[in-house]
Amino acid sequence: MSDYFDPVMETMPREERVAYYEKKVREIVHAAYERSPFMREHFDKAGLGPSDINGPGDLPKAPLVKKAAIREAHKLFPPFGNLMSVDWAGLQRIYVSPGPIYGPEPVGEKRMKEVKALYSMGFREGDRVMVTLSFHLVPAGLLFDTVLRELGAIVIPTGVGNVELQVGVMRDLQATGYIGTATFLMNLIKKAGEMGLSFGKEIVLHKALLTAEKVPKSLRKTFEEDYGISTAEGYGTAEAGLFAYECSEKSGMHIAEEVLVEIVDPDTGEPVPERETGEIVVTHFSSTFPLIRFGTGDLSCLRTEPCPCGRTSARLGEIVGRVGDSYKARGMFIHDPQVRAVVEKVQAVRQGVLVITREHDRDKLTFKVELKDERINKKEVRKSLEEAFKDLCRLKVDEVEFYPEGTIRVEDKALLDERKWE
């Protein structure tokens, strides 16, 4: 059986790959200018027309598209912004991301880059795969459902939470594969141990796609050496899907041919040298949602030396952090403005900061707050903060700590990442 789902695309010679990207960039720039008022305005403001971008080398002429600009477009031109022309009759799903940003999915949309990614990770026809990402509002769960069924795998859509129940499902259905965060997989393993279940006997899980959060090397080593689970990492965004994936060599994440990735200086948008860290910028070759130079906000580097697996694509290195004031915790982004909105929503709170730490291979979220009046019922404040945070950020706060007036300065950030990643 081939190690490649699409050997022609995945192993194309360097000269062909260069010509391929020259052609795809020209096509997507013209398509975006014609079909997306948002992208047309973006180009016009920069004094550019489609004829100015004739290949990857010309892309740095165009300014980056930031997430904030996409959010603003959705506010000004509801419900889908002016990013594309939408035919309601041709839609099969509409996703909702924080903002809110509404993401239409056309009927029959292909997910070939994700199919290639999962195939490279060893997912095959007949696998029984637990998808533990959210099936609620955001695209993650349903995206992998579509891709796994394309491969002929059996999907077990467990979603998030319910650890003990999910361990029982894993045992009863003899799940062979897992898709989700490394943190949640570790939670399942620990619970299985508490229930007296052992890997290789009652639990036969042996492959896992780890995504949506940073994965410590020590945790992957534990999965592979202690529990016999072959792991692979994948990377993507809500806008472009999963577009980078590990092969069996685990020497970086191959970039799918359906996108072009640049690594740039976050301040200037100019490409940085190979292996130098910068912001991941993606141009998505999608006729539905043409997006040119989208700044993901994530930091990594690019590698172009040949991979022993035979794939000839460039590879992303490790995701080392975020640009600016947004961080990902438990698979979801948290933005500084969201935290400030939570604080403003709870009238009793004077100042507040959310601190992300890491304990026992799990992200811990602690709200540190000052009260306007120390006599206020702290139990009620804690409950209000927890509810407001869950409503705005879709995550649960672990602790709420109270501090005397003057401890938290007004100029301090509302979101701090204090995690240690070895």
Residue-wise pLDDT tens digits, 187-204: 999 999 999 999 889 999
d(CA 101, CA 361): 31
pLDDT at 413: 83
Domain containing residue 341: CATH number: 3.30.300.30
The model's pLDDT over 357-399, given as tens digits with 9 standing for 90+, comes to 999 889 999 999 999 998 899 999 999 999 999 888 888 999 9
Domain containing residue 145: CATH number: 3.40.50.12780
Same domain, yes or no, for 123 and 238?
yes
Strands 278-284 and 259-264: antiparallel
Mean pLDDT, residues 83-100 taken together: 89
Q: Which two tokens stand for residue 119?
A: 């195939």
If one counts the domains in the chain, the total is 3
- 299 — pLDDT class (breaks 50, 70, 90): confident
Which of 337 and 56 is assigned the larger pLDDT? 56
The model's pLDDT over 347-360, given as tens digits with 9 standing for 90+, comes to 999 999 999 999 98
Same domain, yes or no, for 39 and 146?
no
Mean pLDDT, residues 58-69 taken together: 95
pLDDT at 205: 98
Q: Name the average pLDDT for the chain.
A: 93
Same domain, yes or no, for 146 and 19?
no
Residue 314 lies in a domain: no
Quote the strand ranges of 161-223, DSSP E. 177-180, 207-210
Calculate what percentage of the chain has a pLDDT beyond 90.
78
Look at residues 53, 241, 37 and name the one whose alpha carbon lies nearest to residue 139: 241
Amino acid at 382: R
The gap between the terminal CA atoms of the chain, to the nearest Å, is 38
Residues 6+ away with beta carbon under 8 Å from 411: none
Calculate what percentage of the chain has a pLDDT beyond 70.
99
Q: Which two tokens stand for residue 197?
A: 């279940």
Look at residues 290, 287, 314 and name the one whose alpha carbon lies nearest to residue 110: 287
| Tally of CB atoms within 10 A around 66 | 16
- 287 — pLDDT class (breaks 50, 70, 90): confident
Please check whether residue 183 is in contact with residue 362, taking contact to mean a CB–CB distance below 8 angstroms: yes
94 membership: H or E segment, kind and range = strand 91-97
Exposed, middle or buried: residue 306 (CB in 10 Å: 0-12, 13-18, 19+)?
exposed
Least confident among 32-36, 194-198, 327-331: 327-331
Q: Which two tokens stand for residue 369?
A: 């707050």
Using the predicted structure, report yes or no on whether residue 23 has a pLDDT greater than 60. yes
Domain that holds residue 383: 329-417
Same domain, yes or no, for 134 and 221?
yes
Look at residues 274, 297, 294 and name the one whose alpha carbon lies nearest to residue 285: 294
Please check whether residue 312 is in contact with residue 298, taking contact to mean a CB–CB distance below 8 angstroms: no
d(CA 375, CA 149): 57
pLDDT at 97: 86
Mean pLDDT, residues 277-287 taken together: 92
Tokens 């006729």: give the residue: 287
For residues 373-402, b (16+ Cβ closer than 10 Å) or e, as one string? eeeeeeeebbebbbebbeebbbbebeebeb
Using the predicted structure, report yes or no on whether residue 116 has a pLDDT greater than 80. yes
Of 222, 246, 270, the position where a domain reaches its end is 246
pLDDT at 70: 93
Tokens 């998030």: give the residue: 160
pLDDT at 360: 87
Residue 2 lies in a domain: no
Q: What residues are paired with 352 via a beta bridge?
A: 369
Least confident among 7-11, 258-262, 317-321: 317-321
- 422 — pLDDT class (breaks 50, 70, 90): low
Using the predicted structure, report yes or no on whether residue 411 has a pLDDT greater than 70. no
pLDDT at 85: 80
pLDDT at 118: 97
Same domain, yes or no, for 148 and 174?
yes
d(CA 315, CA 246): 9
pLDDT at 157: 98
Of 104, 137, 164, the position where a domain reaches its end is 104
Mean pLDDT, residues 105-110 taken together: 88
Using the predicted structure, report yes or no on whether residue 1 has a pLDDT greater than 60. no
The model's pLDDT over 334-346, given as tens digits with 9 standing for 90+, comes to 878 788 889 999 9
